Amino acid sequence: MEKVKIVSYEKKYNDGIVDCMIESSDYWGGSITFRTSREVDAWIKTMDYEEIFLALLEDRVIGICTLEKFWADRNVLYVGLLNVTPEFHGMKIGKKLLLRALEKSIELKKPELDLYTWAGNTKAVPLYKKCGFFWEKRDKNIRLVNYIPFIMNNELLKNYLADFHWYADYKREIILEPDGRPEGDFEFYDYIWEKDDKKFILSFEVKGHGLTKIDCEDFMIKMELKEKRAIVGKESKVLFKILNKSDKPLSVEIKGKDDEVVKFDFSESVEIENKKIIEAEFEVMNSFEVKNDTKRIPGVCAGLKINGKEIEFRKGIYPLNPLKIDLITKSEEAYENSYQKMFLEVENNLSYKTSFHVDLPEIPDFQSDQKSMEIDLDGFGKKSIQITGFLKGSAVIDGCLSYHEKGYPREMFKEKISGGFSTHGNTFLEENRGDKSIGLHAGRFEARYFSRRNQVGLTKDGVFLDFEPAFYPPKIGKPYSRELELLKPLSIECFSEKDENCIQMEYESHEYKSLKIKNRVYLGRDGLAKRKIILENTSKEVEFKDLWIADPFYSVEQNSYVPYKDGIMYARSDSDTFQINYEKLTENWIFSKGKNYNVGICWDKNLKIELNGFLFNLHHEAGNLKPGEKWESPFIYISIEEYDMESFRKFALKNSDPVTLPVFNETELVINGGNPVLKEDFDVYIRNELFSDFDGNAGISSKGHCFEKIQVKAQEKKNIKLLKSGKLDIIKEKLDNGNFKTHKKAVYPVVGTEEVEYSELSDGRKVVNNGKIEMKASEKFPNTLYSIKYNGFEWLENSYPEAGPFSWWNPWTGGIANYSDDLRQTNFMKEPFKVEYSEKKDNFGNVWKGLSLITEFKESEKYRGLEVRQNFLLLPGVELLSVNTELFNDTGKLLDGYRSITCAFLHLEEKFKSSWFKVEYDDCSRKYIAGNRENLIDAADKIIVGSDERKDKINIFSADKKTVLVGYSNILTLFVEFEQRAIIEHGQRKTLPPVFFAFSKKDIKRKLFSEILKIRF
């Protein structure tokens, strides 16, 4: 392609750039970067480019290369985009563009040129390596670094390189894997040039991004460190090994250079006849946290003069304090006036067994007896130490933690720590006074005092809510007096108390002389309001005896959830909320789901709630109040909009991981005792939990003809005999109680009579078959269920028996595999892996059987001790697969917010463009066709995957609403991914909610899986 020329960007080429990128869209997974000249203009204006090079064939743009400042490191250039029209692949256009970028980097006197590509783009790697790039070992993508600009801009190196052609004489074995020659604790990239009988070698240390060795015809100089870790306060040495190969004395000057936290004050000049080792000491002033793995780490740096010509050597180190120490709290919400935990996580950076004395800082509003501690650690050992204290309010951790190695008290180390317990705090104060009302504003929410009945109502955006949640004035007694409903307050004021904004109404009782009552309502910006009542005896003589306080607030109404008996009852009608027996509430909260917002109410768990007319009441026993004494009630909370039902329940219980309870309707037909799996004859009856009499009837029928249609009356229980089994059946219910009629349909697995069979193939592959679905996995193919067969078709795309590059990924196994945000397939493949036949019981006692894929992390420093168990479980004869992940944390530390991601690559037909995935929305469903361009849809409730060439489909849905479902397709592949987050303490095992794959000839609405969604393991 001699007619191709490389030019710098000009605006006149915009249309050509658009054409080039559109023609290359298939190569980029179907995505199109620019569609118009205007978009190219906007792209140029928003980026900080050093240069943009274009490859032109006559006037046609056939290639683009951008050169820009590297975002992650100083004084480094970066190839942001390198693209060649697919028609011209293999014609060395990319090479011309890349070499021009190298020339420009040398011209700008930059030491390094980097580029990134996706893990699956291995076909471009040989070009990069031939141009002097080295492939850095990484898990998520391919980073390549090039030191040719450094070499070409140094007079000493350039002189020795003059005997070679840097490209033609460059000797490199081109292999499709990361580079890096290990030597001791370090890795190196070696540039080697050979011509005739001459050889020139340069070595660059990988993490420090610096030259550490020159080996030429006249001399060899090498910089050595014993290990990469350097401890603050401990002796550290560096060696310079010098060999003179010539017959003349070699003049060498070495002068140390400070670098970030490394102080290297050293200077020496020598004349070397043969060889010499120069030893020097450097000092690490402070530890250094590497926050970005793309940036070079601190290094031991030295300026050398070799026969009068200068060169810089640099070798990266990790400066560490003797003890790595963190004081952390969980990122989930903490609750005031409760015992909370934080964790002191320590790791010994010394190679020998050591004892440390640690002093903790004072933390306001967190009361703990653990102020200091003695910690014994093995060499490189680590521990997670739990610290428990009473949290009075929003505790902020901001101070210094100090420690020293026992026996060396003068060598005191301090670590700045920050964080805190995330509670519902208030934001700012704003008063709004009028003739009839006073408002406390916090963001979009307001607590407004109304003189009529002395109530404090809660509003959003200045509008009262449908439920009109409000706090009413307390009643004093017993017997209770209602005087405060009409009594004018002595004062109404807004103020801040411990960073919380409050509106307070103060009263003085007429019936209880000298008794002051303060009604305080606090309001947060997040819509959380809380009320406290304060009684104060201002008398000097009178003692009030046996005081009780009735604490009234407005009841929630329709669409209410209440913890009731053995579950959570859902009352849809507002009239039904007044028919509930509140004496049977089992927990201290009620929640209502509104049209545009949610309202939750909770109270102290030691109190009982009662319904009195249209208001709820709590009863406080204040007891005796002597002169001058005060009494304060516990808080009542009302939340507007902030929570969903599950998270508000956690807040009310002050428990981030409560036992999951089943949700049932106030009046409903109970099938099989609530167990959604039918495996034998079962009973049905009508359940009614309201006070009102029920004299209705219900009918139940099977769409799959698994049983005959049956009618059941109130107070009656009937047994249903199964006629068919081994399928997903849709059961229809009709309920008539004389007041309303309910129609409901739900999918129930009807278990077959055959057993789930286990078998093993001659090569060790394990197979499970339930009569409908067959699954396969192999211990030689880590972390992947590589095959699912249903109705004779394979449903998983895979690379079995070997992983390799594919699309964006390398390595890629396909199938169904689990990973995390920073644990990719590469990491899993390095760890011990096994496949086991498994048997699990769900929360209803149903036995599921299948395969467990188990990875035990032993190589990963961060996750050593973590066990990841993927369970693929079946019921006999049912076309339903449960996929769930178990995590066991034996890492010695808290895993806070661990992201468990499971990806299923689906194989649907040879004609890939007939494949699709469909997502259900509230108002429609949308089908995305594979094979045309890139589609990425997340936060779906359910995804259906199918092909125009197959009758069967897969309905994929999660048992937990917080599981994020993702559908993706491009011109090569289609997958469904689901992400789940977990907080796991050391020693804890956590089972994540299941995701189900239901095979069917029809699309099944998510709401039909309502019963299956109750299943947990």
What percentage of the chain has pLDDT greater than the value 70?
A: 94
CA gap 401, 417 in Å, rounded: 7
CA gap 374, 359 in Å, rounded: 9
pLDDT at 426: 39
Lowest-pLDDT range of 389-398, 729-738, 769-778 = 389-398
pLDDT tens sequence across 903-916 = 999 998 777 888 99
- The amino acid present at 677, given as its one-letter code, is V
Whether residue 438 is predicted with pLDDT greater than 90 in this model: the reply is no
pLDDT at 217: 92
Where does 14-132 show beta strands of DSSP type E? Answer: 49-57, 60-69, 77-84, 113-118
pLDDT tens sequence across 524-576 = 878 899 999 999 999 999 999 999 999 998 766 678 999 998 899 998 876 67
What is the band of 433 on the pLDDT scale with cuts at 50, 70, 90?
very low
Joined together, the tokens standing for residue 541 give 């003589």
Global pTM?
Answer: 0.85
Give the three-class secondary structure for 631.
strand
Q: Is the dihedral of CA 320, 324, 327, 333 positive or negative?
A: positive
CA gap 428, 435 in Å, rounded: 23
pLDDT at 112: 94
What is the band of 423 on the pLDDT scale with cuts at 50, 70, 90?
low
pLDDT tens sequence across 954-975 = 999 999 888 989 999 998 899 9
CA gap 406, 415 in Å, rounded: 17
Lowest-pLDDT range of 51-55, 93-97, 247-251, 738-742 = 738-742
- Antiparallel, parallel or unpaired: β 989-991 and 915-920: unpaired
Q: Are 202 and 313 in contact (CB under 8 A)?
A: no
Residue 143 makes CB contacts below 8 A (sequence gap 6+) with: 114, 115, 116, 135, 136, 294
Q: E strand or H helix at 958, and its extent?
A: strand 953-958
pLDDT at 729: 96
Average the pLDDT over 340-359 and give the result: 91
pLDDT tens sequence across 376-403 = 999 999 999 999 999 887 677 777 888 8
For residue 827, give Cα distances in angstroms to 118, 306, 608, 984. 17, 43, 53, 20
Q: Is the dihedral of CA 300, 301, 306, 308 positive or negative?
A: negative
Lowest-pLDDT range of 435-439, 625-629, 762-766 = 435-439
What is the band of 332 on the pLDDT scale with cuts at 50, 70, 90?
confident
What letter would DSSP give residue 542? -
Lowest-pLDDT range of 128-137, 218-227, 349-358, 411-420 = 411-420
SS (H, E, C) 588-611: CEEEEECCCCEEEEECCCCCCEEE
Nearest to 616 by CA among 472, 485, 486, 519: 472
